[in-house]
Amino acid sequence: MEKNEYLPLFESKAAKGRGLYWVYAVSMMIGISLICIDRVTHFPGENGVRRWAWTGIFMAELWFIIYWIITQCARCRAVFRYTFKDRLSRRYEDVLPGIDIFVSTADPQLEPPLMVVDTVLSVMAYDYPSEKLNVYLSDDGCSDLMFYALLEASKFSRFWLPFCRNFNVEPRAPSKFFSTVKQSPDQQWKEVKKLYDEMEARINDNMKLGRVPDQLRKHHKGFHEWELGASRSDHRTILQVIIDGRDTKEADTEGKPLPTLVYLAREKRPGYPHNFKAGAMNALIRVSSRISNSQIILNIDCDHYSNNSQSVRDALCFFMDDEQSRNISFVQFPQRFDNITKNDLYGSCLRVPQAVELAALDAHGGAPYIGSCCFHRRDALSGKKYENESHINWKQLNEIQEPERENLLEETAKFLANCSYEENSSWGKEMGFMYGCPVEDIVTGLSIQRKGWRSVFFNPKREGFMGLAPTTLLTTLIQHTRWSEGHIQIALSKYCPLIYGHGKIPVPLQISYLCYNLWAANCLATLYYAIVPPVCVLKGINLFPQVSSTWVLPYAYVFVAKHTYSLGEFLWSGGTLKGWYNDQRMWLYKRLTCYFYGFCLTILRSLGFTKLNFTITGKNSVDDDVSKRFEQEIMEFGTASSMFVILATIALFNLLTSISIARSLIIKKPAIDLDSYALHILLNGLVVIINLPLFEALFFRKDQGCMPASVTYQSLIFAALAFLLTTY
């Protein structure tokens, strides 16, 4: 090969064949405009309830129109990226940079240590020089059970890594691997499997016991830290270098080096805000800078194991290209989940956002950082601005070379994770992960992009990472409450992309961010649409054009086109028809509950009534019955939650309206004018149909996951009251 010939390490292809999309977008614009004309020209002349209801529905529609236009920004373009790993290794194999991998965990009950070590082992086993990998576990739960599990993993890794190399194992998370390859005649397979099973049993036994027995504590000095007194929310920094990769004595069974493995529970004290995951990650950025200081940082949540041993190399193609890499600050992989059932009952995959929208944001100049499965450039993450000199000469990169003695290293790095370290500093404001927002990831990504960096979204054929999606309706709704609360908070603060990004990031990217930032803002228009039209039918007020009028056409077109397009997108992203139907239900439910709650919580918090909170999403396999229902795609209620009361009340009220309409159609007393009310009836029917699983849970199911009696009674009373109030 010619010496000066430049061969890119990655290439980008813009999506082609967008003709159909533009036909859709333009025709929708025409339809929408006609609807607006209808709403204005047919505005009720007489003063009264109809005028108010009309104004309201027009406002709701205007909101939907604005939001639809915003979401088009995250659709009108797309870019797909491809890497050339062979070129990377030809050019750089001997000077590959070090990688620091941050795994976060926060609660041994909600995030079982066995799952966490599965993730840790999967990243230790990357197809990458082990001496260049440094894995850090941040344990916000400060749990000696977690520490014990990590010690076990470090021992097991000596067998696991050679095994992965020799058998080209994929995925390299042992429990996932052994659950797919259940048998093998191979001797090494049998040995490793046996060791894994034994490790699993020991970790699980301790979990059941709830503590680490004394005879096991003797094996590592680290346990001493807990004996000095350490509770979850009140303890000093615990930093243990479990494997020091630079120590030549630390080797696997084939004598090859092992990755460095570090346990960190940053100091926590009552009265000191710890800033949740963002605080934990900032402590890791500092501590790792003393231990390995790699230029590239991979951040994953404890449930997102590596599913592709090549991901590090993929990511490096984006960072090490001579011409295109200069300003790339992070490479975001999609968050995929391996516990999704065929029709994804709770819409957990976020299929379309991840397949369509992130590629569009990338095309606009920067994928957002979505918290996990993301490779960062340390400089950018630590708050450096992009400058032309930001280019790294990878061949001369100087990382920490001095091997400090282990104890010394722990002692000197420890204070970096102390509570007081960040006092009067710009950590959380200008440097590192940003504080004060439940979606710290989005603000962090935005602040990086604002400093002149760009980012890419990389969606490889074999998924880079796999995680666990919530398995019940309530957990899903709670997770989305946190997300929507965080996003709307961004929209209403100085971090609003239109202000914060003004002049710093491209306008289409600013607008695309709003798709998510304004999730919560959808709640009011949706609540209106779900409640007021049925009220109006009962009251004999019509809000839509008659079927015999031509004005009905734009309504029909917009409705059909929007949903057909959304179905097309969903199927293209790999979903099923039923999955789409489930997804539509989830969007409705989120808008009626989480988004509404997120909206209210943000207002309450800005008035000083509530404090920022981060409810951790449970990742443990809930009880067997719940799992079984999840597998069978039966919607899980089971808990008396106020969110379910809202959902059930709205559903029941629509059902009562349907019954009343049906009655008047059959006995014609009072006769209902089909021509005028057809659209109302259609809308009402759709709300009822989409709620079928909820009615089943209310009236027909007997299992533990059905609607709790208290919710049923409350919602029946509310719906009946509302119905009586409107009809009499």
Ligand X SMILES: O=c1ccn([C@@H]2O[C@H](COP(=O)(O)OP(=O)(O)O[C@H]3O[C@H](CO)[C@@H](O)[C@H](O)[C@H]3O)[C@@H](O)[C@H]2O)c(=O)[nH]1
Active site residues: 140, 441
My answer on whether omega of the bond before 670 falls inside 30° of 0, hence cis, is yes
CB nearer to ligand X: pick between 259 and 486: 486
Minimum distance from residue 704 beta carbon to Mn ion (Å): 25
In the list Mn ion, ligand X, none, the entry touching 533 (Cβ below 5 to 8 angstroms by class) is: none
In the list ligand X, Mn ion, none, the entry touching 705 (Cβ below 5 to 8 angstroms by class) is: none
Alpha-carbon radius of gyration of the chain: 28
In the list ligand X, Mn ion, none, the entry touching 105 (Cβ below 5 to 8 angstroms by class) is: ligand X
Minimum distance from residue 300 beta carbon to ligand X (Å): 8
Binding region for Mn ion (CB under 5 A)? 301, 617
In the list Mn ion, ligand X, none, the entry touching 267 (Cβ below 5 to 8 angstroms by class) is: none
Q: Which of 108, 174, 366, 371 binds ligand X (CB under 6 A)?
A: 371
What is the rounded distance in angstroms from the CA atom of residue 694 to the CA atom of residue 643?
13
Q: Containing H/E element for 103?
A: strand 99-105
In single-letter form, the type of residue at position 447 comes to: S
Which of positions 100-129 make contact with ligand X (CB under 6 A)?
Answer: 104-106, 111
CB nearer to ligand X: pick between 255 and 270: 270
What is the rounded distance in angstroms from the CA atom of residue 613 to the CA atom of residue 261?
30
To 5 degrees, how large is the angle CA 50–CA 52–CA 57? Answer: 95
336 near ligand X, rule: CB under 6 A: no
Helix axes 276-291, 440-450, angle to 10 degrees: 60
In the list Mn ion, ligand X, none, the entry touching 479 (Cβ below 5 to 8 angstroms by class) is: ligand X
Report the residue closest to ligand X, judged by CB.
371
In single-letter form, the type of residue at position 663 comes to: R
In the list Mn ion, ligand X, none, the entry touching 614 (Cβ below 5 to 8 angstroms by class) is: ligand X
What lies within 8 Å, CB to CB, of 45 at 6+ separation is none
301 near ligand X, rule: CB under 6 A: yes
CA atoms within 13 A on the CB side of 685: 8
475 near ligand X, rule: CB under 6 A: no
Minimum distance from residue 440 beta carbon to ligand X (Å): 6
CB nearer to ligand X: pick between 175 and 566: 175
- How many positions of this chain bind ligand X (CB under 6 A)? 24
Q: In what order do the strands lie in the sheet with 465-467?
A: 305-306, 465-467, 336-337
Q: Residue-wise over 328-339: b if at least 16 C-beta within 10 A, else e? A: bbbbbbbbbbbb
Interface characters, 420-449, with ligand X (x: CB under 6 A): ------------------xxxx--------
| Strands (E) located in 410-461 | 454-457
Please, are residues 306 and 336 in contact by the beta-carbon 8 Å criterion? no
Range in contact with ligand X (rule: CB under 6 A) among 56-64, 235-243, 479-487, 537-545? 479-487
> Does the CA dihedral 389-394-398-404 come out positive or negative?
positive
CA dihedral 47, 50, 53, 58 (to 10 degrees): -80
In the list ligand X, Mn ion, none, the entry touching 140 (Cβ below 5 to 8 angstroms by class) is: ligand X
Minimum distance from residue 597 beta carbon to ligand X (Å): 15
What region does 306 belong to: left with phi over 0, alpha with psi -120 to 50, or beta? beta
In the list Mn ion, ligand X, none, the entry touching 297 (Cβ below 5 to 8 angstroms by class) is: none
Interface characters, 125-164, with ligand X (x: CB under 6 A): -------------x-x------------------------
CB nearer to ligand X: pick between 447 and 649: 447
Q: Determine the 3-state secondary structure of 170 from DSSP.
A: coil
617 near ligand X, rule: CB under 6 A: yes
Minimum distance from residue 677 beta carbon to ligand X (Å): 42
- 289's tokens: 């800078």
What lies within 8 Å, CB to CB, of 344 at 6+ separation is 351, 575, 579, 582, 583
User: How many residues does this entry show for the chain?
Assistant: 728
Q: Containing H/E element for 656?
A: helix 642-666
CB nearer to ligand X: pick between 275 and 649: 275
Please, are residues 263 and 71 in contact by the beta-carbon 8 Å criterion? no
Minimum distance from residue 507 beta carbon to ligand X (Å): 26
CB nearer to ligand X: pick between 475 and 660: 475
Minimum distance from residue 119 beta carbon to ligand X (Å): 9
Please state the residue numbers annotated as binding site.
Answer: 104, 111, 140, 277, 301
Please, are residues 517 and 487 in contact by the beta-carbon 8 Å criterion? yes
361 near ligand X, rule: CB under 6 A: no
Range in contact with ligand X (rule: CB under 6 A) among 77-85, 453-461, 609-617, 667-675? 609-617
What is the rounded distance in angstroms from the CA atom of residue 236 to the CA atom of residue 33?
62
CB nearer to ligand X: pick between 490 and 538: 490
Minimum distance from residue 116 beta carbon to ligand X (Å): 9
DSSP percent split of the chain into helix, strand, coil, nearest 5: 55, 10, 35
> Does the CA dihedral 208-209-210-214 come out positive or negative?
negative
483 near ligand X, rule: CB under 6 A: yes
Minimum distance from residue 111 beta carbon to Mn ion (Å): 9
What region does 725 belong to: left with phi over 0, alpha with psi -120 to 50, or beta? alpha
Please state the residue numbers annotated as binding site for UDP-alpha-D-glucose.
Answer: 104, 111, 140
CB nearer to Mn ion: pick between 305 and 453: 305
In the list ligand X, Mn ion, none, the entry touching 302 (Cβ below 5 to 8 angstroms by class) is: ligand X
To 5 degrees, how large is the angle CA 579–CA 580–CA 584? Answer: 120
- 330's tokens: 């992070």
CB nearer to ligand X: pick between 104 and 122: 104
Which of positions 268-287 make contact with ligand X (CB under 6 A)?
Answer: 276-277, 280
520 near ligand X, rule: CB under 6 A: no
Looking at residue 435, the DSSP 8-state letter turns out to be: P
Which residues in this chain contact ligand X in the complex, by CB under 6 A? 104-106, 111, 138, 140, 276-277, 280, 301-302, 371-372, 438-441, 479, 482-483, 486, 614, 616-617
